Amino acid sequence: MIKIKTFKISRIIIYSFSTCPPEGIVASRCVEYAETNLRCIEPAEMSKCIAHSLPKCRSIYFLFFLTLNILVFTFHCSAQNGGAAINSTGAAANNSAILDVDATNQGVLMPRMTTAQRDLINSPADGLTIYNIDCHNYNYYNGSAWIPLNSIGGSSPATPGTISGSSNFCNGQTGVSYTVSHVSGTTSYTWVVPTGASITSGQGSSAITVTFGSNPGNICVTASNSCGTSSPSCLSVTLNPSPAIPVAIAGTGAAQTQITANWNSASNATGYYLDVATDIVFTSILTNYNNLNVSNVTTYNVTSLSCGTTYYYRVRAYNSCVTSGNSNTTTYSTASCCVCPAMSTWQYKAPWTINNTSNSNTLTNYQVKLTLNTAALVTAGKMLATGNDIRFTDNDQCTLLSYWIESGINTTSTVIWVNIPSIAASSSKTIYMYYGNASAVSASSALNTKIFQLKEHNSNAYTINMLFTKPVSGELRVIEGSSTAGSAEVFLNISRSWLNGKKLKINWKIGNWTTSETGAPASLYITDGAYDRKSGVDFPDGTGKPVKGSGNLFIYSKGTTGPGWSAYDLHTSAALDLSTGTLDECALWIHAYDYWAGSNYPMGYQIDYLQILDGSDNVVWEENFNDEPVMEVTGTNNDYGLFRKYSSPEPSGSIGSEASSCP
């Protein structure tokens, strides 16, 4: 039985094709339309068809146009096992297809309708398919609902953007928020979370709140409307592991008021909490170190502690999820309390042993000469290059001693004089040297150490020499070195504020001590400001000197009284008034004019003693030139004499091992 298959090709003309004869050619046919059936008119009946009335064959009036179409286009159809093929090549239908349409310039139109029209279809068959012109996508009926065939394109929502929220979570963490920006045309959002997690609020909206379990995974969201659902946007989330319990290790850097707590790094930690207590069960935790967040470090300086005290510390690791349990407890103590709190800001000290075992005399206020390698300490960063941080204390490690750095700071042979109050006969004594204080200012003072420097100055072009004749006699002699007339003087720099209000007492002689030649005039005067023999500014030509400050503050002059040595005794009955001075120091000058009468004997002056008295004529400083050894004279331009006490054999000093300044 031949089956009739009808295809609507255009809006007006209906082409009818029968199951084709073996040759596969469909001849042109007139289409006869009857109310109850359609049939294909054979070619032999074409004339009859034409002769029929129009109501009988309602499309006959298109015959002419149909004939023209068929003349231009030849359609082929074939069938195998009941399948139909529509193409222009005559190829048979695919065996698996009931209908096989092949074209390169035309398509197939499905039924097109709105969503409302689609929903009016009565009892749609399972699999029924239409094209939704509202949503611009294909819909099929799955037996219970219309489903869009394509979720991308058309009027379905676009894929949501990047999900905002944490990519890490903690086990059991609650209240974690995630959001996406609104997608245009979306009426609902669907969120999916990892297994074990739950959405506590916001499902259906663009923002949700999640309670996590312990499983990592993806948080995904799709956007939907009546036309379909978008592809998902996803964020991978991972479980943030808990930090390990840290291990506290031994403390370091114990000082009187500080220790350094140390511990090992704990895995998965982003920081640490520190507890410090004075008892092992941590009932007495220090206020500032109770769960102190020290950030992500493994060492911390614990300050403001008490000296000589044992402390206990422990730590806990934390990250964004949780804090670990306590570490083990470590014990560490601060250094013993400093013997001298005033020296607690110095970092180092070294003992000096003063050896007086060979001297049967008890020495008081004695200047001991120490020589040490300060260059090594400066290089090690322990001492200032200026030596400003050097201090000396008595054997109690606290009583400061006067000292004077004579020369060679930051060298291997620095010379320092220390005035020691008492050194017992035939014994040794320990004093201490402190150093290592960056903010210290110099305390070096020759005057306070009772070492006095008399410096030469030749007012005329001739050579002078300071001679000291001890032990033949206790006196200072200043003489010329050539047989020419001239003048000679020495000067002593001294604190003006200290000398102001005091009195002077000097016993001296001028003239020639080997002949009866008449002595020359002499004077003693005090000028404002200290002078430096080494400075070319003070003595630019080796002779003249500048006037400093207020110039002369005090003058005493004395002429000759007879041949040979002429003795003078200066004793100012009134206190010196140096208040008109403006500089911190002043210079005490002793000056004599040399007189040469043709002999080859030197001329000069001799000082037997020099005293400084207070207002009640008590001696506050004295140089009698009886206790000192030969005066040390250095250089040609830098000549100066050092005067100090002397006892034979002199004590010596040796330095011991370095230690922390406290205790």
What confidence tens digit (pLDDT) does each residue in 483-540 have?
455 566 778 888 898 899 999 888 777 665 555 555 556 778 899 998 876 656 777 6
How far is it, in rounded angstroms, from Cα 318 to Cα 325?
A: 9
Helices (H), 159-236: none
How high is the pLDDT of residue 55?
A: 40
Tell me which of 524 and 5 has the higher pLDDT.
524
For residue 332, what pLDDT is reported?
A: 96
pLDDT digits (tens, 9 = 90+) for 184-208: 989 999 999 999 999 999 999 999 9
Sign of the dihedral through C-alpha 274, 279, 284, 288: negative
Give the mean model confidence (pLDDT) for residues 279-298.
97
pLDDT of residue 602: 52
Pair of tokens at residue 107 = 């398509």
**What is the percent of the chain where pLDDT is above 70?**
71
User: Nearest to residue 64, comparing CAs of 18, 12, 25?
Assistant: 12
pTM: 0.45
Q: pLDDT digit string (tens) for 421-447?
A: 999 999 999 999 999 999 999 999 887
Pick the closest to residue 400 from 429, 436, 433 (CA basis). Answer: 433
Residue 116 Ramachandran class (φ > 0 left, ψ -120 to 50 alpha, else beta): alpha
DSSP structure class, residue 20: P
**3-state SS string for 406-421:** EECCCCCCEEEEEEEE
pLDDT of 67 higher than 50: no
CATH 2.60.40 fits 341-435, yes or no: yes
In the CATH hierarchy, which top-level class contains the domain 452-643?
mainly beta
Residue 18, pLDDT score: 39
Is the pLDDT at 160 greater than 80, yes or no?
yes
What's the whole-number mean pLDDT along residues 56-73? 38
> What's phi and psi for 358, nearest 5 deg?
-95, 0
pLDDT tier for residue 561 given thresholds of 50, 70 and 90: low
- Quote the CA–CA distance of 606 and 590 in Å, as a whole number: 10
Please tell me the least confidently modeled range out of 125-139, 182-196, 469-483, 555-569.
469-483
248-333 has CATH 2.60.40.10 classification = yes
The domain defined by 168-239 folds into Immunoglobulin-like (2.60.40)
pLDDT exceeds cutoff 80 at 635: no
Q: Give yes or no for residue 541 having a pLDDT over 70.
A: no
Tokens of 552: 């002369």
**C-alpha angle 510/515/520, rounded to 5°?**
30
The domain spans of the chain are 4-75, 112-148, 168-239, 248-333, 341-435, 452-643
Considering only CA atoms, which of 597, 434, 422, 570 is closest in space to residue 509? 570
Whether 15 and 31 have beta carbons less than 8 Å apart is answered as yes
Domains 248-333 and 452-643 share a fold: no
pLDDT, position 70: 39
**Residues 102, 106, 111, 116, Cα dihedral to 10°:** 140
* Of 127 and 54, the one with more pLDDT: 127
Taking alpha carbons only, the member of 165, 227, 216, 226 closest to residue 193 is 216
Tally of CB atoms within 10 A around 190:
14
**pLDDT of 370-408, one tens digit each?**
999 999 999 999 999 999 999 999 999 999 999 999 888
* pLDDT computed for residue 524 by the predictor: 84
Going 8 to 9 to 14 to 18, the CA torsion angle's sign is negative
